[in-house]
Amino acid sequence: MSTGTAFETVIGLEVHVELKTETKIFCGCKTTFGSPPNTNVCPVCLGHPGTLPVLNRHAVELALKAALALNCRVNQDSKFDRKNYFYPDLPKGYQISQYDKPIGEHGYLEIEVGGESKRIGITRVHLEEDAGKSSHAADGTHTLVDYNRTGVPLIEIVSEPDIRTPEEARLYLEGIKAIMQYCDISDVRMEEGSLRCDANISLRPVGQREFGQKTELKNMNSFRNVERGLHYEVLRQTEILQDGGTVSQETRRFDETTQTTALMRTKEEAHDYRYFPEPDLVRLTIDDAWLVHLRQELPELPAARRRRFISDFGLPAYDAGVLTSDLAIANYFDAVVAAGAEPKSASNWIMGDVLAYLNNRNLSIAQSPVGPRQLAGLIAEIAAETISIKQAKDVLQVMFGTGNDAKTIIREQGMEQISDASALVPIIDEVIANNEKSVSDYLSGKEKALGALVGQTMKATKGKANPGLVNKLIIERLQDRS
């Protein structure tokens, strides 16, 4: 990205995804979120002497699915390593991770930017265990440590430095989240820490091949904060370089209150971790049959579903992108169409009134009081001209409140649209008789005056008249007078 100051932005992301297993990666402790502190712990995950890790097969399967879904080459001969560092929330003094033989390498994810597809390379996908969680007292007097999260299985997805703007970073993260959700690999709940992101960002003069000095933004908890934090870093590093300064290699955090980043610590180099093979785990061998089985279990992925919505249903790319960004929404749309709704109408209602209602009440699509068949029923009533679109919006609000279907509500509230010309003509004649100024304006060439007459007719019928038919009949009646 040109910043307007002859610098190009280079961004790479490291995404940690908590795997959806019932037990930890090397022991039988539960992974339940929100348990009382230090209740889901045992000698293995606390690293007591004499204990041995036992690998969770389901964690390996989920990691393999992630690697396959991200178009990675799977290392069928893989292994675990010890990554040595000391933090209070890491009781063993090392983390079991993967170094030179990760589960997957050399993959990619495609994002849509400005109507065009862009491929972001994925360097590696590797398995590792999570650390515990430290909570620091506000007055700085003490720190509390919860080891429940210790040993929870993670995959780390490391991208190539192919991302050029904060917007691309957000789109990439949204793509990762959607794939993890579609494949049922993770809950991907950022608010619970099951999806976390660190971002490396640097600037270099446009045309220069060598990377500039990078900084790392750590543990951002929302896509919006990732985008905002990166925007701030672009400005901060640009100012440093324009002033002839040098960007320091350091880890920073994003402050939501000030919308700025602040120094956390200087960055360790990779060799500081003193990796060596984990001696308590045998090498991990993944045979062909296992891989074939897992590949067959992969569902239709977001990109493929987006393409299907465009090709099979004729949806605009924007609609297809919104609908497939969330698995439950995509499934809901498919179900509405399967129930007989015209696809574009279904897309409009879901992206408009349905999601607005749910978002205002912090509900998911799965919690919608209006199911797919009910929404398809409402759309059918519009297509049959039983109600207008304006009336349909009112009916939908009643559906949300009562759970009743559209046909019942229309019948009970007498909302059927008046599409009988013989019933509308007397009303229109009365409106024409009472609005001579509008009639005169229209007949003198002021076509906008027609709207006032239509509006008066709709008011007289309490919004029940068919607007198209009213428009047609008024023009006919006025032409008879000219």
pLDDT tens by residue, the chain, 482 residues: 444 558 999 999 999 999 999 999 999 999 999 999 999 999 999 999 999 999 999 999 999 999 999 999 999 999 999 999 888 899 999 999 999 999 999 999 999 898 888 999 999 999 999 999 999 888 889 999 999 999 999 999 999 999 999 999 999 999 999 999 999 999 998 888 899 999 999 999 998 999 999 999 987 778 999 999 999 999 999 999 999 999 998 999 998 889 999 988 875 555 578 999 999 999 999 999 999 999 999 999 999 999 999 999 999 999 999 999 999 999 999 999 999 999 999 999 999 999 999 999 999 999 999 999 999 999 999 998 888 888 899 999 999 999 999 999 998 888 888 888 888 999 999 999 999 899 988 888 888 888 999 999 988 988 888 888 888 999 988 887 76
Mind spelling out the 3-state secondary structure of the chain?
CECCCCEEEEEEEEEEEECCCCECCCCCCECCCCCCCCCCCCCCCCCCCCCCCCCCHHHHHHHHHHHHHCCCEECCEECCEEEECCCCCCCCCEEEECCCCCCEEEEEEEEEECCEEEEEEEEEEEEEECCCEEEECCCCCCEEEECCCCCCEEEEEEECCCECCHHHHHHHHHHHHHHHHHCCCCCCCHHHCCEEEEEEEEEEECCCCCCCCCEEEEEECCHHHHHHHHHHHHHHHHHHHHCCCCCCCEEEEEECCCCEEEEEEECCCHHHHCCEECCCCCCEECCHHHHHHHHHHCCCCHHHHHHHHHHHHCCCHHHHHHHHCCHHHHHHHHHHHHCCCCHHHHHHHHHHHHHHHHHHCCCCHHHCCCCHHHHHHHHHHHHCCCCCHHHHHHHHHHHHHHCCCHHHHHHHCCCCCECCHHHHHHHHHHHHHHCHHHHHHHHCCCCCHHHHHHHHHHHHCCCCECHHHHHHHHHHHHHHHC
